[in-house]
Structure 1
Amino acid sequence: QLAVLQLLATGATNKVIAQNLGISPATVKNHLDAIFEKMGATNRLQAVMMASATTSQDGL
């Protein structure tokens, strides 16, 4: 899921993420649904912004 989130942050589509990770677009969607639920995000942009804020707070 971390790799999906990292690629999502680059603006990659589900299809591009799937190709990069060697998984199906449906699997990418399942990972995104799980990421959104864990983070409390409702969309891709919100998930990326929340992850970015968390990374900044952690000093990474």
Structure 2
Amino acid sequence: MSRSGFYEWRERPASATAQRRALLAALVAEIFAGSHETYGYRRVHAALARRGEHCSAELVR
């Protein structure tokens, strides 16, 4: 790999998928903390669905 290619790759903005996953990770952490760390992935997934964030249970897991 060339140096210029490496630095171009490093400075590239995050993809839409990466941005969405980061948003979902923050929401999952918020929901999990709000439940006093008792919710599993099924309840967290249901809470996300109630908020209008549609994703698979496997992604939440």
TM-score (norm 2): 0.31
More helix by share: 1
Q: Which has the larger radius of gyration?
A: 2
TM-score (norm 1): 0.31
Q: Which of 1 and 2 has higher RCO (CA within 8 Å, sep 6+)?
A: 1
